[in-house]
């Protein structure tokens, strides 16, 4: 890749993290007023329409995008992502954006730790050390008091584990399916599943909140579009460290829009998690 392309990729990754942070802020607002399942369902309707539109414009159309030899895996991936989103948004309502994202930032460490047993990749002692330090950071964020962790923090931690598993299964699926195929199955299966559940939790929505919902749908599609473009122009290993800026952007939105605060233990713990995550990315790039 040329330097110019890598620079463009970095700009697109920063834009993506900002867009997803705005999306998280809107999600937090809507989930505070309406059922989480309904909010995610409407968001996924737009996401599925976006995925189908992208597929229909590519060579071979929807038939080519849907062609897979591993439908079970693709369906499971789609279900895993949509329910991870539900869990994470529920975490926003319990802990806010700052602390939820501080805990969720450990997902790259979970991917590194699970890549051995799931994908058969080699994880050296340096990366295991970084993973250990990262989880010390998570423990600091969770602030164990009187021998008991904050129970609410289990929610974004569960979301991080689900997202890490989704990421690993996406890499596993990529051995036989194209990115376009995985993207198609992610949007369509997730939309079908969440609609089957979310319709039972429908609530009337005010006119201003329909505007917020429209903004949520647009930011979701726009974020995925910039992410796709980012990976088209630059290597994933070059731009991935900048994905941690979502923690910064989401925290800023939490502070400015929702009057959240950053406690010292959260700042210290998040710093350790991010530093450990950046080290594992660096080691992965170096060994590759």
At residue 146, the pLDDT reads 43
Structural domain that includes position 226: 3-287
At residue 288, the pLDDT reads 63
At residue 129, the pLDDT reads 86
d(CA 153, CA 142): 6
The number of distinct structural domains making up the chain is 1
Global pTM reads 0.89
At residue 149, the pLDDT reads 57
Are 181 and 67 spatial neighbours (Cβ–Cβ below 8 Å)?
yes
pLDDT by 10s per residue, the chain, length 288: 344 578 898 899 899 999 999 999 999 999 999 999 999 999 999 999 999 999 998 888 899 999 999 999 999 999 999 999 999 999 999 999 999 999 998 888 888 888 888 878 777 778 788 888 888 888 787 775 544 456 788 999 999 999 999 989 988 998 899 888 999 999 999 999 999 999 999 999 999 999 999 999 999 889 988 988 888 888 777 788 888 889 999 999 999 999 999 888 889 889 888 888 888 878 777 776
């Amino acid at each position: 890749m040329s330097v110019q392309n890598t620079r463009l990729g970095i700009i697109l990754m920063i834009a993506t993290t900002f867009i997803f942070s705005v999306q998280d802020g809107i999600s937090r607002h809507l989930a505070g007023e309406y059922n989480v399942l309904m909010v995610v369902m409407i968001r996924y309707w737009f996401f599925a329409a976006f995925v189908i539109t992208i597929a229909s414009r590519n060579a071979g159309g929807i038939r080519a995008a849907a062609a897979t030899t591993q439908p079970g895996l693709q369906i499971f991936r789609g279900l895993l992502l949509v329910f991870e989103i539900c869990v994470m948004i529920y975490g926003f309502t319990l802990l806010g954006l700052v602390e939820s994202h501080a805990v969720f930032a450990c997902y790259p460490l979970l991917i590194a730790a699970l890549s051995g047993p799931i994908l058969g990749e080699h994880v050296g002692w340096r990366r295991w050390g970084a993973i250990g330090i990262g989880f010390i950071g998570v423990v600091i964020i969770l602030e164990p008091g009187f021998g008991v962790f904050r129970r609410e923090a289990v929610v974004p931690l569960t979301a991080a584990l689900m997202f890490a598993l989704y990421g690993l299964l996406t890499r596993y699926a990529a051995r036989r399916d194209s990115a376009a195929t995985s993207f198609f199955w992610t949007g369509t299966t997730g939309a079908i599943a969440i609609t089957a559940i979310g319709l039972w939790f429908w609530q009337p929505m005010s006119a201003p909140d329909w505007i917020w919902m429209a903004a949520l749908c647009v930011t979701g599609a726009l974020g995925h579009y910039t992410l796709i473009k980012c990976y088209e122009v630059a290597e994933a290993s070059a731009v991935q460290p900048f994905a941690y800026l979502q923690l910064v952007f989401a925290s800023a939105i939490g502070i400015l829009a929702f009057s959240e605060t950053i406690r010292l233990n959260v700042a210290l713990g998040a710093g350790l998690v991010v530093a450990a995550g950046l080290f594992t990315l660096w080691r992965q790039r170096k060994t590759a």
